[in-house]
Amino acid sequence: MDIRQLRYFIAIAEQGTISKAAEHLHMAQPPLSRQLKMMEDELGVVLFDRNKKKKVTLTSQGELFLKKAKKLLHGMEEAILEVKEFSEEISGTLSVGSTIYCAPILLSNLKEFRQKYSHIKFNIWEGDSTHLMNLLKNRQIDIAITGGPFSQKDIEMKKLEVDPCVLVVPNDYNLAEKVISIQKISEIPLLLLRPTEGTGLFDQIINVFQKLNLTPNILCECHDSAMLLNLVEMGFGATILPLSMINQKLMKEFKIISIQDNPWISEPALVWRANSYLSASTREFLRLFNN
């Protein structure tokens, strides 16, 4: 059995059918089926259960073998990368993910990184914390910038500066306060950014109102940040965002009001895999946060 066959097996397990795996691997289905049969014959076990719809599910032996196969394949990939990068300049692709609220932190550091290493390519993902942790675990990204809590093992992290939320309202809105209470916020028409899956700031906001026995006037739950700010600019209502998302342009277009006894304070962190080889570009990007 060789590394090539391990790749085949992992692809079948992840795609759920041999035909989809063959398409993913850019090969014909019959040779892939033969390779799977050869693997099962060599191991003396059945790795997949097949059904009439041609879908495959891992057997108990298959589940165990998948864990071992991924570990072997990742170890080989890391060894190849480490040897290739030995005594070479920083190159390749930086794969990083961020929540929408941590995007300004990512972008400001990417700008500095790009100025220093203009030849580096980027693979950037956005999603909620759970999605980013899965991407990190599956090695689709090397670094995540996100808020906690972090229940996943085998990660390292560096806490970044805390990021308090602020109330964002149109300039012509009838609010003179520089600091506003949560009671007053509950009376204002609110437009809140809500993730399509997972938890986030939306849930934190709702939980605080519930604990204070307040019923917020939520006019709109929005799933797109650009649309959200457009609606605020049009005077539909106010929104609550982390201070890091407020750039100079937004400061001119909106009133930014601090929140009294602020319960909505984000604690972003830089997260990466522990006990894993990090590419030279990844290590250099991490160094930006040590300055």
- Tens digits of residue pLDDT in 190-209: 999 887 665 678 888 999 99
- From 85, 108, 135, the end of a domain falls on 85
Helices 18-25 and 3-15 sit at what angle, rounded to 10 degrees? 120
With a cut of 80, say whether residue 212 has pLDDT above it: yes
| Nearby residues of 76 by Cβ (< 8 Å), 6 or more positions away | 3
Domain around 8 = 3-85
Q: Looking at the structure, do residues 260 and 200 belong to the same domain, yes or no?
A: yes
Average pLDDT rounded to a whole number, residues 70-81? 72
pLDDT band for position 78 (50/70/90)?
A: low
**What is the count of structural domains for the chain?**
3
pLDDT of residue 170: 84
Q: Looking at the structure, do residues 198 and 245 belong to the same domain, yes or no?
A: yes
Q: Looking at the structure, do residues 52 and 135 belong to the same domain, yes or no?
A: no
Q: How far apart are CA 58 and CA 48, in angstroms?
A: 4
Q: Looking at the structure, do residues 173 and 138 belong to the same domain, yes or no?
A: no
* Coil, strand or helix at 97: strand
H-run or E-run covering 48 = strand 48-50
Q: Looking at the structure, do residues 103 and 157 belong to the same domain, yes or no?
A: yes
Pairing of strands 121-126, 93-98: parallel
- From 52, 85, 118, the end of a domain falls on 85
pLDDT of residue 39: 85
pLDDT of residue 69: 82
Q: Looking at the structure, do residues 167 and 258 belong to the same domain, yes or no?
A: yes
Average pLDDT rounded to a whole number, residues 205-231? 89
pLDDT of residue 275: 78
H-run or E-run covering 271 = strand 268-273
Q: Looking at the structure, do residues 134 and 274 belong to the same domain, yes or no?
A: yes
Residues recorded for the chain: 291
* Coil, strand or helix at 239: strand
Among candidate residues 203, 208, 93, 199, the one with its CA nearest the CA of residue 146: 199
The helix/strand count (H/E) of the chain reads as 11, 14
CATH number, domain with residue 21: 1.10.10.10
pLDDT of residue 181: 94
Of 54-58, 76-80, 193-197, 276-280, the range with the highest mean pLDDT is: 54-58
Q: Looking at the structure, do residues 201 and 272 belong to the same domain, yes or no?
A: no
Q: Looking at the structure, do residues 188 and 273 belong to the same domain, yes or no?
A: no
| Nearby residues of 52 by Cβ (< 8 Å), 6 or more positions away | none
DSSP H helical ranges for the chain: 3-15, 18-25, 29-43, 60-85, 103-116, 129-137, 182-187, 201-211, 225-233, 248-253, 280-287
Terminal Cα-to-Cα distance of the chain (whole angstroms): 47
pLDDT band for position 164 (50/70/90)?
A: very high
pLDDT of residue 2: 80
Q: Looking at the structure, do residues 113 and 132 belong to the same domain, yes or no?
A: yes
pLDDT of residue 207: 93
- When mean pLDDT is compared across 42-56, 158-172, 254-268, the lowest value belongs to 42-56
CATH number, domain with residue 101: 3.40.190.10
pLDDT of residue 79: 66
pLDDT digits (tens, 9 = 90+) for 250-283: 888 888 999 999 999 988 899 998 877 788 888 8
* Coil, strand or helix at 279: coil
pLDDT of residue 200: 76
With a cut of 90, say whether residue 223 has pLDDT above it: no
Q: Looking at the structure, do residues 210 and 173 belong to the same domain, yes or no?
A: yes
Among candidate residues 188, 189, 205, 199, the one with its CA nearest the CA of residue 241: 205
pLDDT digits (tens, 9 = 90+) for 82-132: 666 554 555 678 899 998 888 888 988 998 888 888 888 899 998 888 888
* Coil, strand or helix at 123: strand
Q: In this structure, which amino acid lies at residue 64?
A: L
- From 69, 85, 101, the end of a domain falls on 85
Q: Looking at the structure, do residues 148 and 284 belong to the same domain, yes or no?
A: yes
pLDDT of residue 151: 67
pTM of structure: 0.64
* Coil, strand or helix at 220: strand
